[in-house]
């Protein structure tokens, strides 16, 4: 299990990022008291995303990304579309659709309908 990912975000995008991750089934939670003034956290089933607001966030990766198995793939894609999120279909490399989006801070997020598990197509 991946426990958490920390993403740098501009301070003005923190609340938008919380709302974006809510579409993927993540709920906001209180960080430990020593971190509350610095971080905003969301979680789903023990996996957390930690947002650290910085004035000049690191440029989001072109290829690097966070991948999440959606609780209801089609419903998540509908919710993203309703909010005007640009989506790009990923290669169907393991007989399970996947879609790439960018969160409000610009980080690439892969939304998966199922995790990649063998047997692999074509083998």
Query: What is the gyration radius of the CA atoms in the chain, in angstroms?
Result: 15
Which CATH number is 4-55+63-112's, of 3.40.190.10, 3.10.180.10, 3.40.50.1000, 2.70.150.10? 3.10.180.10
Rounded to two decimals, the pTM is 0.91
Query: At a CB cut-off of 8 Å and minimum separation 6, what does 29 contact?
Result: 41, 42, 43, 48
User: What is the model's pLDDT at position 123?
Assistant: 83
pLDDT of residue 61: 85
Looking at residue 38, its pLDDT comes to 94
Task: Determine the pLDDT at residue 119.
Answer: 86
Integer Cα distance of 49 and 39 in angstroms: 10
Contacts of 39 (CB under 8 A, 6+ apart): 6, 31, 50, 51, 52
Dist. CA 52–CA 41, nearest whole Å: 9
Could you give the CA distance from residue 72 to residue 74 in angstroms, rounded to a whole number? 6
pLDDT tens, per residue, the chain with 123 residues: 689 999 999 999 999 999 999 999 999 999 999 999 999 999 999 999 999 999 999 888 888 999 999 999 999 999 999 999 999 999 888 989 999 999 999 999 999 999 999 989 888
Query: Residue-wise over 76-85: b if at least 16 C-beta within 10 A, else e?
Result: bbebbeeeeb
Q: Is 45 helix (H, G, I), strand (E, B) or coil?
A: coil
Phi, psi dihedral angles at 73 (to 5 degrees): -50, -55
| pLDDT score at 69 | 95
């Amino acid at each position: 299990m991946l426990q958490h990912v920390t993403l740098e975000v501009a301070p003005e995008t923190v609340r938008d990022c919380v709302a974006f991750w809510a579409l993927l089934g993540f709920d906001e939670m209180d960080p430990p008291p020593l971190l509350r003034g610095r971080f905003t956290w969301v979680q789903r089933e023990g996996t957390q995303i930690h947002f650290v607001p910085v004035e000049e966030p690191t440029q989001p990766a072109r290829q690097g990304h966070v991948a999440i198995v959606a609780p209801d793939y089609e419903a998540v894609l509908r919710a993203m579309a309703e909010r005007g999120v640009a989506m790009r279909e990923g290669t169907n490399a393991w007989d399970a659709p996947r879609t790439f989006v960018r969160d409000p801070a610009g980080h690439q997020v892969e939304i998966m309908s199922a995790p990649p598990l063998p047997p692999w197509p074509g083998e």
